[in-house]
Amino acid sequence: MRRADLARAVGVSPQAVAKWEDGSTHYIRRDHMTKMAQVLKHPEAWFYGDEKKANNKKEPDMEVSETAIQLAYLFDALPAEQQGDLLRSAAQLTEELRQSARTVDRDAQQAAHLQRLRKLITDS
């Protein structure tokens, strides 16, 4: 398929398609990616190099927010070492938040248990 034909089918300029092809732009709007996948008869995952998902006929029903897309592009622009540092920091923060949530849940359960015990004692 010619660049101009793809551009027309997707609803963008031929220059935009050229930038996607040569990698000079790192952002392709989700609706354009979806349309391009339909026109070229490939799952969207194929364009991202995800062979496992590309071979899977069913596309996941998942909306990706603009914020998540921007975050992915920013992450991808980082050097590999900084990507690793960021992932480790995010994993550590996530674990700390999970532990904090468990502590809050445990404290709330203990408070509720004490309240029930007080009620039992005062009702006796």
pLDDT one digit per residue (tens) for the chain, 124 residues: 888 999 999 999 999 988 888 888 777 888 898 898 898 888 887 776 655 555 555 555 567 788 888 888 888 888 989 999 998 998 998 898 888 888 888 888 887 777 877 777 777 5
- For residue 118, the model assigns a pLDDT of 77
Which residues have CB under 8 Å from 3's CB, separation 6+?
A: 14, 17, 18, 21
What confidence score (pLDDT) does residue 111 get?
A: 79
Is the full-model pTM beyond 0.75?
no
**CA-to-CA dists, residue 1 to 52, 54, 103, angstroms:** 25, 20, 58
The four Cα atoms 70, 73, 77, 78 give a dihedral, to 10 degrees, of 70
18 vs 39: CA distance, rounded Å? 16
pLDDT of amino acid 124:
56
Say what the pLDDT of residue 58 is: 53
Domain 1-77 CATH assignment equals 1.10.10: no
Enumerate the domain spans of the chain. 1-77, 79-124
